[in-house]
Amino acid sequence: MKTRQYQLQRNDDGPATLKQVEATVRPPGPRDVVVRVRAVSLNRRDVYVRLGLYPGPKPPTLVPLSDGAGEVVAVGTGVTRVVTGDRVAANFFQQWLEGRPRPEYLATALGGGIDGMLSEHVTLDEDGLVKLPDYLSYEEAATLPCAGVTAWNALVTRGRTQPGDFVLLQGTGGVSIMGLQLATALGARPVITSSSDDKLARARGLGAAATVNYRSTPDWDQAVRVATGGIGVQQALEVGGKDTLQKTLASLGQGGHVALIGGLTSFGGEIPSGALMGNNATASGIYVGSRADFAALTAFLAEHPVRPVIDRVFEYADAAAAYDHLDSPHLFGKVVIRL
């Protein structure tokens, strides 16, 4: 069977060309599943992979994107976890099922170490799939494997967020908006920063307890402390990187936890030991999560039907424009491609 897909094609370590091709669908082995992909979503990582700036191997051809959802259309003879017709999403790390990560697991990241989801059909091991809550559309479900699991891992698996906790979120990209929605559903009190008052107003509509415009308030860490009554935040999803880390640490309260997730300003930054020791605080490096994390997230969503925020849905033919839209100053939530 033939299928349409996009490939990143490159001749060196520089930027790759995004090209639509026709490919042969790999028939399922005994434990494999063929999924008709209905929607995919983009993450900042996908831009770095396309530009050749992401760590790891750079194969001459690669099907991009880690995040996709669709319908099971064929199964191997030994498959027991799913059946034809099931609605599923692919796990970011195909072999990280539970427990601690291992190097060999990290090499199975879709759209990085192995071919990803920007294809009408994909053939994956049954262990690399998670069933979806019924209420989610394919477009909504496609936002979960990276941004959703990252936010869940930061807030719950590592952060152990409690009702009433103050949670610091930065900007209005996919991880931050999903973190805002999950924190609200967990009974926590989100505090979010942005340079746009319009975006902050939208964030309040999603449950933000307090907002801070970091452009008009350069000392935004002090404003965060004021918003928390002086105690600081118990959780912080640090996506800004080098230029925001020190203010994030200054925003932490006693026993706080900072999840180190991204580097929108640039990666790096120092964490003085005193910033953690003096506050009895902890820091976690977050690189998405396991299938167990994803399954815990979907179970939570089945009980707390959060609808992921989608900024814009692009059609399959406009995949290149979807990449470009990630740099839009008006971005709020996730960018999705419908297949």
User: pLDDT digits over 161-190, tens only?
Assistant: 999 999 999 999 999 999 999 999 999 999
CA distance 323 to 319: 7
Say if residues 79 and 33 touch (Cβ distance below 8 Å).
yes
Q: Look at residue 262 in the predicted model and tell me its pLDDT.
A: 77
Domains, the chain: 2-146+306-338 (3.90.180.10), 159-285 (3.40.50.720)
CA distance 317 to 20: 9
Say if residues 309 and 333 touch (Cβ distance below 8 Å).
yes
User: pLDDT digits over 83-130, tens only?
Assistant: 999 999 999 999 999 999 999 999 999 999 899 999 999 999 999 999
Say if residues 125 and 75 touch (Cβ distance below 8 Å).
no
Kindly list the strands in the beta sheet with 210-213, ordered across the sheet, starting from the edge strand earlier in the chain. 210-213, 189-194, 166-170, 233-238, 252-260, 282-285
Token pair 């000392």: residue: 219
Q: How far is it between the farthest Cα atoms of the chain?
A: 62
CA atoms within 13 A on the CB side of 17: 8
Q: Look at residue 3 in the predicted model and tell me its pLDDT.
A: 97
Say if residues 149 and 179 touch (Cβ distance below 8 Å).
no
* Those residues with Cβ within 8 angstroms of residue 197's Cβ, 6 or more apart along the chain or in another chain: 213
Name the H helices within the chain.
44-51, 103-106, 138-141, 149-152, 174-185, 197-205, 220-227, 245-251, 273-277, 291-303, 319-325
Say if residues 122 and 150 touch (Cβ distance below 8 Å).
no
Residues of the chain with pLDDT under 50: none
Tokens of 238: 């640090």
